[in-house]
């Protein structure tokens, strides 16, 4: 019976969950045992006939999860149960060569790398798709002026498309991080009990290099009994960092969907309910889900860093929690990406509300540009600043129009003519370098796709 929401299929796609199912994890481990045996035979470390027999049995589907579970109930050791199961199908002359020169974590760590490799083949195209969707929004809204907010307050004018461009740019960097990091964390280890390759001697690294190449992994340069946990901590950090970017996007969408702002709205399908009690509600539940799951991912990153400091050549203090944080981290990130793709695909943007919000402060949002104009006229920056602030606070207190007050104020209006003021109070004149920035982001995203052959 399912216990966790992941078990019930609530979170994550079927394709990503399948990678971490027990049956498939066993297949990864058996594939690893098969590859090691094959190359040990080719390098004359074990008899060639034995290597072929071990490989054939490991990939024969004779070794079932039920068989492993039955054996583990007695031995209380999962990897030893795999070795025992393979051995039971081997001829007497082959049995001694099963799992030759390996230790449990050679199997566990390498199979984890195999799972991560397959996971990123699912995750990266989804990030790429999200970037593409964001670029579409960038192109559509690149010349739409909007309120730029700092500290939750109106600050200045921003291109609404620039919001999407910033998100797309950070996601491009995440793909770069994954691709650049693969050589550090998609690792193969066959170096045995304390990382010396003791039983395989001088050919230990040859076995490891060949197996790594065959599995599409990278050969670890040096290790103890386990691959150094800095490598898995980097994976968890990248996963949590991607989650943080998705959370950042989600929080902005949630804020912009607030009734008082109303600039965007998540897709809301027919028959969907926003509230069990309030019929009018259209809640940003997908974005809220993303923010909620991001908190879990950040906690996993902390746990993975705690796992780095193990006793001597290793202890088991990392083992139990990694069975949670590695599959759960990947599956939850997949869920977050799926949710954000749906949000951006169906995001409703209210152009008129965006333009109306610019005028909410009755012109005070243009204070930055008035200050600039006065400074260019030769007026002391602090004097100009003080006068603009004085007028701004007076109009705020009296609910007056800022533009009219500026024109009528002798210390300011006398220095700016109507044509200059008209330009200052036109939001379309304040997009500055937005178009250039946006074009650079689009070029970078397109180049990234070419570099990494992203769909």
Q: What is the CATH number of the domain that holds 83?
A: 1.10.275.10
- Residue whose token pair is 């700092």: 150
| pLDDT at position 2 over 90 | no
- In the residue annotation, 275 being an active-site residue is answered as yes
Q: Is the domain of 402 the same as that of 304?
A: no
Which of 97, 124, 153 is the endpoint of a domain?
97
Q: What is the mean pLDDT of the chain?
A: 94
Q: How far apart are CA 434 and CA 138, in angstroms?
A: 11
What is the per-residue pLDDT across 263-273, written as a single tens digit (0 to 9) for each?
A: 999 997 766 65
pLDDT, tens digit, 9 for 90 and up, residues 41-75: 999 999 999 999 999 999 998 999 999 999 999 99
Q: What is the residue whose two structure tokens read 């498939």? A: 24
Considering 75, 198, 275, 309, which one is annotated as catalytic? 275
Is residue 445 one of the residues assigned to a domain? no
109 and 210 in a single domain? The answer is yes
Q: Return the structure tokens found at 407.
A: 């024109």
pLDDT, tens only, 88-134:
999 999 999 999 999 999 999 999 999 999 999 999 999 999 999 99
Per-residue tokens: 401:
């129009």
Residue 350 buriedness (CB in 10 A; 0-12 / 13-18 / 19+): middle
Q: Are residues 124 and 259 in the same domain?
A: yes
Backbone φ and ψ of 410, nearest 5°: -65, -30
pLDDT in tens, 329-341: 999 999 999 999 9
Same domain flag for 303 and 333: yes
Structurally, the chain folds into a number of domains equal to 3
CATH of residue 276's domain is 1.20.200.10
Q: What is the largest CA-CA distance in the chain?
A: 103
- Where residue 281 falls among pLDDT bands split at 50, 70, 90? low
Same domain, residue pair 210 and 291: yes
Residues 62, 36 share a domain: yes
Q: Is 151 noted as a catalytic residue in this protein? A: yes
Range of the domain at 19: 14-97
Q: What is the mean pLDDT of residues 365-382?
A: 94
Cβ burial, residue 245 (10 Å; 0-12/13-18/19+): buried
User: Which residues, in sequence order, are CB contacts of 78 under 8 Å at separation 6+?
Assistant: 68, 72, 104
Provide the token pair at 292. 């909620």
Give residue 451's pLDDT band: very low, low, confident or very high (50, 70, 90): confident
Residues 258 and 400 in one domain: no
The answer to whether residue 248 sits within a structural domain is: yes
CA distance between the termini of the chain: 38
Within this chain, do residues 25 and 115 fall inside the same structural domain, yes or no?
A: no
Q: Given 97, 117, 148, which residue is the final one in a domain? A: 97
Q: Could you read off the pLDDT of 221-269 as tens digits, one per residue?
A: 999 999 999 999 999 999 999 999 999 999 999 999 999 999 999 997 7
Give CA–CA dist 253/248, Å, rounded: 9
Residue 200 and residue 71 share a domain: no
Q: Kindly report the backbone phi and psi dihedral angles of residue 218, in degrees, each rounded to the nearest multiple of 5, phi listed first.
A: -115, 140
**CA-based torsion, 71, 211, 303, 245: positive or negative:** negative
Among the options 151, 202, 276, 312, which is catalytic? 151
Q: What would the DSSP string read from start to end of 66-97?
A: HHHHHHHHHH--HHHHHHHHHHHTS-TTTGGG
At 426-445, the pLDDT tens digits run 999 999 999 999 999 999 99
The reply to whether 38 and 60 lie within a common domain is yes
Percent of the chain exceeding pLDDT 70 equals 97
Buried b (16+ CB within 10 A) or exposed e, 360-375: ebbbbbbbebbbebbe
280 pLDDT above the threshold of 70? no
- Are 175 and 96 in contact by the 8 Å Cβ rule? The answer is no
**pLDDT attached to residue 126:** 97
Q: Are residues 112 and 93 in the same domain?
A: no
Q: Looking at the structure, do residues 345 and 369 belong to the same domain, yes or no?
A: no
Provide the pairing of β-strand 218-219 with 187-188: parallel
The verdict on residue 429 lying in a domain is: no
- Report residue 342 as tokens: 């749906």
Is 341 inside a domain boundary? Answer: yes
Rg (CA), the chain: 30
Q: Is the CB of residue 202 less than 8 Å from the CB of residue 123?
A: no
Distance (Å, rounded) from C-alpha 62 to C-alpha 127?
38
Distance CA 412, CA 148 (A): 25
In the structure encoding, which two tokens stand for residue 447, read together?
Answer: 């180049």
């Amino acid at each position: 019976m399912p216990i966790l929401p992941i078990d019930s299929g609530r979170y994550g796609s079927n394709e990503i969950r399948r990678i971490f199912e027990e049956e498939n994890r066993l297949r990864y481990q058996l594939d690893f045992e098969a590859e090691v045996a094959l190359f040990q035979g080719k390098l004359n470390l074990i008899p060639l006939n034995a290597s072929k027999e071990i490989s054939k049995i490991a990939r024969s589907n004779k070794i079932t999860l039920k068989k492993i579970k039955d054996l583990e109930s007695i031995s209380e050791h999962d990897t030893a149960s795999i070795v025992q199961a393979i051995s039971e199908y081997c001829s007497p002359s082959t049995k001694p060569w099963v799992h030759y020169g390996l230790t449990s974590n050679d199997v566990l760590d390498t199979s984890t790398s195999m799972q991560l490799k397959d996971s990123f083949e699912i995750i990266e195209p989804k990030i790429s798709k999200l970037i593409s969707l964001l670029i579409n929004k960038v192109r559509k809204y690149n010349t739409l002026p909007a309120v730029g907010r700092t500290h939750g307050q109106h600050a200045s004018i921003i291109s609404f498309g620039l919001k999407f461009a910033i998100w797309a740019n950070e996601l491009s960097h995440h793909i770069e991080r994954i691709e650049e990091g693969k050589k550090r964390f998609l690792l193969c280890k066959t170096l045995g009990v304390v990382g010396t390759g003791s039983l395989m001697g001088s050919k230990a690294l040859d076995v490891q290099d060949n197996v790594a190449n065959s599995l599409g992994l990278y050969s670890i340069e040096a290790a103890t009994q386990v691959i150094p946990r800095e490598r898995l901590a980097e994976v968890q950090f990248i996963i949590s960092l991607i989650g943080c970017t998705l959370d950042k996007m989600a929080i902005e969408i949630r804020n912009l969907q607030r009734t008082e702002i109303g600039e965007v709205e998540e897709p809301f399908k027919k028959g969907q309910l926003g509230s069990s009690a309030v019929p009018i509600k259209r809640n940003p539940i997908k974005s809220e889900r993303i923010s909620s799951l991001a908190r879990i991912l950040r906690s996993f990153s902390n746990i993975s860093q705690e796992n780095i400091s193990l006793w001597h050549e290793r202890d088991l203090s990392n083992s139990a929690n990694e069975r949670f944080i590695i599959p759960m981290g990947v599956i939850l990130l997949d869920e977050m990406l799926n949710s954000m793709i749906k949000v951006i695909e169906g995001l409703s943007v209210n152009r008129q509300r965006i333009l109306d919000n610019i005028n909410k402060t009755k012109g005070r949002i243009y204070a930055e540009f008035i200050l600039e104009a006065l400074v260019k006229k030769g007026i002391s920056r602090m004097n100009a600043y003080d006068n603009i602030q004085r007028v701004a606070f007076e109009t705020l207190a009296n609910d007056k129009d800022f533009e009219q007050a500026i024109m009528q104020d002798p210390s300011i209006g006398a220095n700016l003519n109507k044509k200059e003021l008209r330009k200052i109070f036109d939001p379309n004149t304040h997009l500055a370098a937005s178009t250039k920035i946006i074009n650079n982001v689009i070029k970078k995203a397109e180049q990234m796709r070419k570099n990494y052959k992203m769909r």
